[in-house]
Chains A and B, each alone.
Chain A
Amino acid sequence: MLTSQAQALPAALSAKRGAISLFGITRIFAGSIAAIDHIDLDIHPGEFFTLLGPSGCGKTTLLRMIAGFEAPDDGRILISGREMQDVPAHKRAVNTVFQSYALFPHLNVEQNIGFGLRMRGIKNPERKKRVDAIMELMQIGAFAKRSAAQLSGGQRQRVALARALVNEPEVVLLDEPLSALDAKLRAELQIELLRMQKRLGMTFVFVTHDQHEALVMSDRIGVMSKGKIEQVGPVLDVYEKPKNVFVAEFLGLSNIWPFTPTGAHTAQTPLGELTIAAPLQGPGLAMIRPEKIWIYNDTAVPKDQANLFMGVVREAIYMGASTQYRIELANGQSVLAFDTNNQAAERSWRPDEPVAVELKPDNIMLIEP
Chain B
Amino acid sequence: MIPRGVRYALSGISWPVYVLLYTPLALVAYYSFSPAPNSTGHSLHAYNILLHDGAVAAALRRSLILAFGSAITSTALGTLLGYGLCRFRNANAKGFLAHLPSLIIYTPIIMPSLVFGISELIFFNFVHNATGLLGAGLVTMVIAHITFQVPYVALTVFARLSGLDPYLFEASYDLYANGVKSFFYLIVPVVQPAIIGGFLLGITLSIDDFTISFFTSGPGSVTLPIYIYGAIARKGISPEINALGTLMIGTIISLALIQFFITRHRERAGQLSARGKIA
Instruction: Mark A residues whose CB is within 8 Å of B.
Output: 67-69, 88-91, 94-96, 98-100, 102-107, 115-116, 118-120, 143, 146, 149-152, 163, 167
Which stretch of B38-46, B80-88, B162-170, B220-228 is in the interface?
A: B162-170
Smallest CB-CB separation from B164: which chain A residue? A105
Kindly list chain A residues whose C-beta atoms are within 8 Å of the C-beta of B168: 102, 104-105
Stretch of B20-28, B69-77, B112-120, B175-183 at the chain-chain interface: B175-183
Interchain nearest-CB distance for A342 vs B (Å): 44
Q: Given A102-B165, A146-B277, check contact A96 B176 (CB 8 Å).
A: no
Q: Does B250 contact A (CB under 8 A)?
A: no
By a CB distance below 8 angstroms, the chain B residues around A105 are 164, 168, 190
Q: How far is the CB of A99 from chain B (nearest CB, A)?
A: 8
- Known interface pairs A100-B165, A102-B167; A116-B190 also in contact (CB < 8 Å): no
Chain B neighbourhood of A95, CB < 8 A: 174-175
Contact for B173 among A89, A143, A163, CB less than 8 A: A89
Q: How far is the CA of A107 from the CA of B171 in the complex (A)?
A: 13
A89/B165 in contact, CB under 8 A: no
Q: Enumerate B13-32 residues with CB–CB distance to A below 8 Å.
A: none
Which residues in B have their C-beta under 8 angstroms from that of A104? 168, 171-172, 186, 190
Interface residues of B (CB under 8 A from A): 164-165, 167-168, 170-178, 181, 185-186, 189-190, 192, 273-274, 277-278
In the complex with contacts A96-B171, A100-B165, A106-B189, A91-B176 CB distance below 8 A: yes
| 12 CB < 8 A contacts A-B | A68-B173, A90-B177, A94-B174, A98-B171, A102-B171, A105-B164, A107-B189, A116-B174, A116-B175, A119-B175, A120-B176, A152-B278
- Cβ distance B86 to chain A, nearest Cβ, rounded Å: 16
Chain B at the A interface: SS class: helix
Closest chain B residue to A150 by CB distance? B274
CA gap between A96 and B171 in the complex, in Å: 7
Bound complex: CA A152 to CA B277 (Å): 11
A-side contacts of B164, CB under 8 Å: 105
| Bound form: Cα–Cα A95–B172 in Å | 10
Closest 3 CB pairs of A and B: A116-B175, A102-B171, A119-B176
A107 / chain B contacts, CB cutoff of 8 Å: 189
Q: How far is the CB of B68 from chain A (nearest CB, A)?
A: 26
B169, closest chain A residue (CB): A102
Most buried by A among B167, B171, B174, B192: B174
Please measure, in the bound complex, the distance between the C-alpha atom of A125 and the C-alpha atom of B174, giving whole angstroms.
23
